[in-house]
Amino acid sequence: MSMLAVKSHGKQSDISLLRVWEFPAIFILKKGAILYMAYSEMSDDVYISDIPSVTNEKDRALKEDKIVNAAKVMDLAVGNATGNIPVSNGTLCTNLNAQYLGGNLASAFAPASHTHTVATSSSNGLMSNTDYTKLSGIASGAEVNQSAFSNLVVGSTTIAADAKTDTLTLTAGSGITLTGDATNDAVTIAVTSNGHTHSDATTSAAGFMTAAMATKLNGVATGAQVNQSAFANVVANGVTVAADLASDTLTLIGGTGITLTGDATNDAVTIAVTSNGHTHSDATTSAAGFMTPTMVTKLNGIATGAEVNQSAFGNVLVGSTTIAADAETDTLELAAGTNIALTADSTNDKVTIAVTGTVPAATTATTCTGNAATATTLATARTIGISGDATGTATSFNGSNNITIPLTLGLSGATAGTYKSVTVDAKGRVTAGTNPTTLAGYGITDAVSSTGTAANSIKVGGYSPALTNTASTVAIRDTSGDLVARLFRSEYTTTTGGTCAYILGQNAVGSGVDNYARPIPLATLKSALDNIVSPSGKQLFTSSGTFTVPAGITTVWVTMCGGGGGGASGTAGGGAACALATQLTVTPGTIYNVTVGGGGLGAGNAIAGTGGASSFGALLSCAGGGGGSGVSFGSYVGASGGFGGQPGEKVKIPYTGAILSAKGGDSMFGSGAQTVSGSSEEANPGTPTGYGAGGGGGYAKAGNAGTAGFVLVEW
């Protein structure tokens, strides 16, 4: 028998005693805002005041310590998956659907795929990368359209600002005073001597600028271009006048004895000293001043670019004669004497002296010695002759003309004639000759005579024998008596056999009956096939489906192939088995299931998928190609699915050069592919084409899937 006691806020509840007669149980009652649960084995007449102290402690723990920890709430577990009570533990909760997020409805948030338009001159938006590049190229604090002169012309000299904040320094010359006014952005240029004054400038005469003129000049509107180079500072006599604003004005004031002439058209200011009766002293070697006419004459007599203290020869000594320069610009003339030629090169400042003609005969033995650069004849004629294995007539030669010496070869001992075997001496001359008629006469010991049998040779006509389809080899029969070759080439041309198909047949070209296999012309092949079957209908399946035999049809011809095997890393998939126009007996109205095998999936370092089988009901089927292996670096290639399919290949890794990926096996209706890598570290797999071809295998790359098969039904 069980007892449940219930309290509410320390008071005994209305239910003072519950009796459970059948078996102990657990009850949950609620009164007010507190739940209490109790379970104990008690006698039939125990009341709340008699509950043991341990039960009271449990009640206190439930209420005050809040130790309740349920595994589920309303039969829902806590977690991050669909159907869980969401918990914040750092893992994304799936399919969580809440009406509010951060107190906001979904309409307050933008979808992940939202976009913004680019900002224009009339509407807000995102900044484009072009505008960001333009903004990055503008310096902080830059102002628009600052007006300034980027060049200052003084006479014929142009002073250009080298930077946007370049400084132009005004230096006071002799008799000039420069006064800078940084507060008012002004420079006063004045003559320091004689105390003379100038009249105000007018439209017809130069003079001082009045305050009204300065006001008018300061009010000239700006219109300079963006980023125009200008002087931000002007230094006058050590005082720096800085521009305070982007459109600030620098005022040039003509001081005493100074005339300023502005040329707005050519952007020029002319600063001139006015006379008004004052004078200047002449310049001396120790003091600046005016240049006198004598000084001007002397200056004009100095050539442009003349150098100080230029090094030169004032005298030229020829033998015992001295030729002295009479003036600073005197000229020394070189004259050509007898048999002398002078060649002047003004570009390279060079004179070439050469001997011409014939040197006059010497009057004594000591008059002329040495070797002549050129001569008409030899001083003493020489006799030139030829002897030895060849002889020639001795001939005199003095150098005045060419000579010809006829050459006669000595006899070698051999009689003139034609020889098949000759004897040659150490000098390369034929000394004897014979015409042998036997192998022994030629000294040949390893050949067979015309009446003998040829000995075994490792080559025939220079070509080695081979059982495989290797290029430039002689084909030999294998143990089964078959020949293996990649291609057969017919001797028949279009004039004798017509355009030929890739099928051989006996007595296909020409007349007569024999057992020779020849190419069959396309017209002959088409005619023969037309006589075999002329289908009235056909249905191609590139995916699985059903075929219902048309009324009155009892025979169909089915062509199909399975799916190609997938390629792997290192090996390729195999080609699928194929069937060609296989004749099947069917019943009209019968429905046959048609299965089209899919291509096997490619793999990396694993075994690739096998191609699926294609079938026509239970009457005909073709297996798919085997999958390649990427385990242990391509332990085996994808096998052929059967008739018409070729196995896959392995990756070809040469000692040097590019890597060839593994070629997928061909089927009768599809081709595997191979790629050539430009790297020695990896190669991409080839992509197969057509039906039932094996997927290519890569090198350090996963292989490609094979191509799917097909089923063609004709009736």
How far are the Cα atoms of 489, 509, 511, 514, 529 from residue 496, in angstroms, in the given order?
15, 8, 11, 17, 22
Question: Tell me, what amino acid is at 482?
Answer: D
- Whole-angstrom Cα distance, residue 651 to residue 660? 6
Residue 27 burial (C-beta neighbours within 10 Å; 0-12, 13-18, 19+): middle
**557-590 confidence digits (pLDDT tens):** 999 999 999 999 888 999 999 999 999 999 999 9
User: Among 208-212, 521-525, 561-565, which is the least confidently predicted range?
Assistant: 521-525
- Residue 357 confidence (pLDDT) above 70: no
**What percentage of the chain exceeds 70 in pLDDT?**
70
The secondary element (H helix, E strand) that includes residue 538 is strand 538-541
Q: What would the mean pLDDT of 248-276 be, rounded to a whole number?
A: 81
Residue 670 phi/psi, 5-degree rounding, is -160, 160
Max mean pLDDT range (99-108, 274-283, 581-590, 673-682): 581-590
**390-439 confidence digits (pLDDT tens):** 887 767 888 888 888 888 887 877 888 898 888 888 888 888 888 888 87
The secondary element (H helix, E strand) that includes residue 552 is none
Q: 266-270: long-range contacts at Cβ-Cβ below 8 A with a sequence spacing of 24 or more?
A: 266/153, 267/149, 267/151, 267/153, 268/153, 269/152
The secondary element (H helix, E strand) that includes residue 491 is none
48 or 681, which is more confident? 681
Q: What would the mean pLDDT of 7-21 be, rounded to a whole number?
A: 39
Q: What would the mean pLDDT of 249-253 be, rounded to a whole number?
A: 85
Beta strand ranges found along 570-676 (DSSP E): 578-585, 591-595, 614-616, 620-622, 670-671
Question: Tell me, what amino acid is at 324?
Answer: A
**What percentage of the chain exceeds 90 in pLDDT?**
16
DSSP reduced 3-state for 588: coil
Q: What would the mean pLDDT of 325-352 be, rounded to a whole number?
A: 82
**339-350 confidence digits (pLDDT tens):** 788 888 888 878
472 or 525, which is more confident? 472
What is the number of alpha carbons within 13 Å of residue 291 lying toward its C-beta? 7
Strands 421-424, 474-475: pairing is: unpaired
Determine contact, residues 694/665, Cβ cutoff 8 Å. Answer: yes
456 or 116, which is more confident? 116
| pLDDT value of residue 105 | 80
Sign of CA dihedral 552, 557, 558, 559: negative
Q: How far apart are the first and last CA of the chain?
A: 88
Beta strand ranges found along 121-276 (DSSP E): 151-154, 157-160, 166-170, 176-181, 186-191, 231-236, 239-242, 251-254, 258-263, 268-273
H helix runs in 113-228, sequence order: 129-136, 211-218
**431-477 confidence digits (pLDDT tens):** 888 888 887 778 787 776 666 565 566 677 678 888 777 878 888 88
| pLDDT value of residue 521 | 65
User: Among 63-67, 380-384, 600-604, 635-639, which is the least confidently predicted range?
Assistant: 63-67
The Cβ of residue 583 has, within 10 Å, a number of other Cβ atoms equal to 11
Q: Which two tokens stand for residue 452?
A: 């003998």
* Confidence at 705, pLDDT banded by 50, 70, 90: very high
* β partners of residue 595: 615
- Whole-angstrom Cα distance, residue 237 to residue 472? 97
- Whole-angstrom Cα distance, residue 595 to residue 708? 11
Q: Which two tokens stand for residue 416?
A: 């003139």
- Whole-angstrom Cα distance, residue 645 to residue 641? 6
| pLDDT value of residue 22 | 37
509 or 649, which is more confident? 649
The label of the residue with tokens 């009209």 reads 588
The label of the residue with tokens 């999936």 reads 601
**Angle at alpha carbon of residue 456, lines to 452 and 458, rounded to 5°:** 145
Question: Tell me, what amino acid is at 127?
Answer: M
Q: Which two tokens stand for residue 2?
A: 């069980």
504 or 588, which is more confident? 588
Closest-CA residue to 467 (of 484, 454, 451): 484
114 or 447, which is more confident? 114
559 or 2, which is more confident? 559
